[in-house]
A and B are shown apart, each in its own frame.
Chain A
Amino acid sequence: AQSVAQPEDQVNVAEGNPLTVKCTYSVSGNPYLFWYVQYPNRGLQFLLKYITGDNLVKGSYGFEAEFNKSQTSFHLKKPSALVSDSALYFCAVRAPNTGFQKLVFGTGTRLLVSP
């Protein structure tokens, strides 16, 4: 079964510092990986995705993520955090063994950026 893990329930970082939100996956074959953000009482917003090609992908709001096949990871990063980045972040995967049909989400990581 395909799965994605977010080992940290919460990440705390000071504004201006770099941030990393971790994600690892466990699927057969080469997955398609996504990051979404959810602000309070809102829907999920797409940030970025890795399908193929360059392992470093850039997305919305200055976020980027690096696909690492050997470590089966897809960590979300930003060089300089903003207070407004505080939100719930979800990693998600589509796997080839399911025909890439459904998007399976991790448990989410709450990012708290302090002023």
Chain B
Amino acid sequence: EPEVTQTPSHQVTQMGQEVILRCVPISNHLYFYWYRQILGQKVEFLVSFYNNEISEKSEIFDDQFSVERPDGSNFTLKIRSTKLEDSAMYFCASSPESRTGELFFGEGSRLTVL
């Protein structure tokens, strides 16, 4: 069964460093998302992406965050200068369509900022 894959599974970084989290969505999906979850609590929407551009972003997704799909398969989330409060589990998701389709989530990338 196709699945969303994410790398790395865990990254530890120093405050102020840049981090790139990578995702390979399911191949025939067109809509891509990043969510984050802090301490196993609420799952928060960060950004949605379609047709090589951001379709919606939350207030969390400030200028320190960016996304891109550089090669037609990978979907990346970059945090330019990490802060302590960026420590979280980051989930990538993809969906075959934007309205009624469910999201398929990866296993997550745990980011720890020291």
> Which residues in A have some Cβ–Cβ distance to B below 8 Å?
32, 34, 36, 42-46, 49, 51, 88, 90, 94, 98-108
Contact = CB atoms under 8 A, between A and B. Distances in A.
A101 B55 CA distance: 8
Given A43-B106, A44-B105, A51-B100, A101 B91 contact: no
19 contacts: A42-B107, A42-B108, A43-B4, A43-B91, A43-B106, A43-B108, A44-B91, A44-B103, A44-B105, A45-B105, A49-B102, A99-B98, A101-B98, A102-B33, A102-B45, A102-B48, A102-B56, A103-B33, A105-B45
Interface stretch (B13-21, B36-44, B75-83): B36-44
Contacts, number: 56
B interface, size bucket: 20 to 34
Interface of B: 4, 33, 35, 40-45, 48, 55-56, 91, 93, 98-100, 102-108
Given A45-B105, A46-B104, A108 B41 contact: yes
Nearest to B99: A100
